[in-house]
A and B are shown apart, each in its own frame.
Chain A
């Protein structure tokens, strides 16, 4: 099995999933997201289409999410599972507001920090230091908050030596370290993590997971997307399985993992 079993802090059985009575912080109702498969990028094509009386579909549509209903309560640790292309990242992007749903409704409350892709919010031509400020501000921190947390962010990322290097020279793990460090320091109430821990080395992954645990112990809500079933089984107590854009299972993480393995 994985290293996660050797870590005394992370070991032990996960708590069984009990639907809680805490207030709902993410409410997803009948959400649909459609993507266009063939894009028209030129006005000529669109114009010809209009002239011809809008005959035929300009572009093929495809449902990435199709009637998703989900309620996530404060303090829950939810794993979003499913095969490639099942719509997990799309759902996280809708929750964080990067994209809007085409149908249904999403409502959230509380500050959200989304670690949806490594290095999102980083500008390659700026130094690590400038990027900490830029990323922090994008995630909603004030200058004073960033100033106060700067040293702690750098310490967490363990890349002090490279902090004044332009981030385009960073390795993907270094990107992740800095991005993760900034995100956990924004003190979000809801934390969305998409598959990004994969590029970190083992010690840093452990550190991140300890940090995530710590946040969750302080009552933060957690939504994690990962294909590392062992890890999510330790981290989360609730598993939601997506299949071709629909929720096919929602409940105890162990059942979800069994379903995916089976």
Chain B
């Protein structure tokens, strides 16, 4: 054992934000396990539910929107189009929503014992990813059924789209998680934002509708939304290869809007981390 007099003094409870969270892998895994375990406690199907739900969701979309409403005629494979966007929004809703709630939700721990609190935020992202996987699987099955043949560009687009989504939801979750400690209103704003995000990104409709309805700067604003970019990347990766028609991505998607989305998402993460470090010290007394 090293002599204690040779060790440096440290300020208790001054975390280094994300760095700490990444160093405590084992604790992170336990927190993720805890979340999943608690969520599915006492249910017979357990985590299988996360496969059943998106499966049923897809079939309903296919029948109701594709067959009954005949949206297939406007957009080929509309169900795949819709579903590839919806699963990203589902992820966003869960990651952002739980991220915003996690500090208050773990208040009992935060008040009594010190641990790097950003771990809670990181763990909500992992839990959301665990729930995203089954949905992706359902999407892939649907894609293969209708004849998906992706190239390397498509696969890369899917990965980048997901990365944008993870970083963006994480950043927003951190910001609202901090805000929620001080003002419980934040939780309600989150639900509102998730709803708005679903309609303000090309999930239900193609982006050309927006281009047709607003002036050019409006479209640019629309494309500044990282969620829009991620959804378009997913359309490009999953839906476009299943359709015969030449698919129009928004102009400059890959060269301009993807880098913009990445920068914006990182900015949110940076601001979130900053706010977190600034206010972490008062969490225990405010909760």
Point out residues on A near B: beta carbons under 8 Å.
23, 25, 27, 35-36, 39, 41-43, 46, 74, 93-100, 105-110, 112, 114, 116-117, 120-121, 123, 125-126, 130, 133-134, 137-139, 142-143, 189
Contact = CB atoms under 8 A, between A and B. Distances in A.
Q: Classify chain B's interface size.
A: 35 or more
Interface stretch (B1-9, B67-75, B142-150): B1-9
A137 B27 contact: yes
B37 A109 contact: no
26 contacts: A23-B5, A25-B4, A42-B185, A43-B183, A74-B5, A95-B12, A98-B13, A99-B13, A99-B285, A100-B14, A107-B9, A108-B11, A109-B10, A110-B4, A114-B113, A116-B112, A120-B111, A121-B109, A121-B115, A123-B38, A130-B33, A130-B37, A133-B30, A138-B109, A138-B113, A139-B113
Contacts of A35: 285
Contacts of B9: 27, 107-109
B284 interface: yes
A137 B28 CA distance: 9
B30 to A, nearest CB: 5
Contacts of B34: 123, 126, 130, 134
B38 A100 contact: no
A245 B38 CA distance: 40
Contacts of A125: 37-38, 41
B249 to A, nearest CB: 40
Interface in B178-237: 183-185
Contacts of B14: 97, 100
B57 interface: no
Contact of A100 (B10, B26, B282): B282
Contacts of B112: 98, 116-117, 120-121
Most buried by B among A98, A105, A139: A98
Nearest to B13: A97
Contacts of A27: 9
Contacts of B280: 100
A98 B37 contact: no
A39 B13 CA distance: 23
B114 interface: yes
Contacts of B285: 35-36, 99
Contacts of A25: 4
Given A100-B282, A109-B9, A110-B4, 17 more contacts: A23-B5, A41-B184, A96-B12, A97-B14, A98-B111, A100-B280, A107-B10, A109-B7, A114-B114, A116-B112, A120-B111, A123-B34, A126-B38, A130-B30, A130-B33, A130-B34, A137-B30
A106 B12 contact: yes
Contacts of B108: 120
A152 to B, nearest CB: 19
Contacts of A133: 30
A201 to B, nearest CB: 23
Nearest to A108: B12
A189 B4 contact: yes
B10 A108 contact: yes
B113 A121 contact: yes
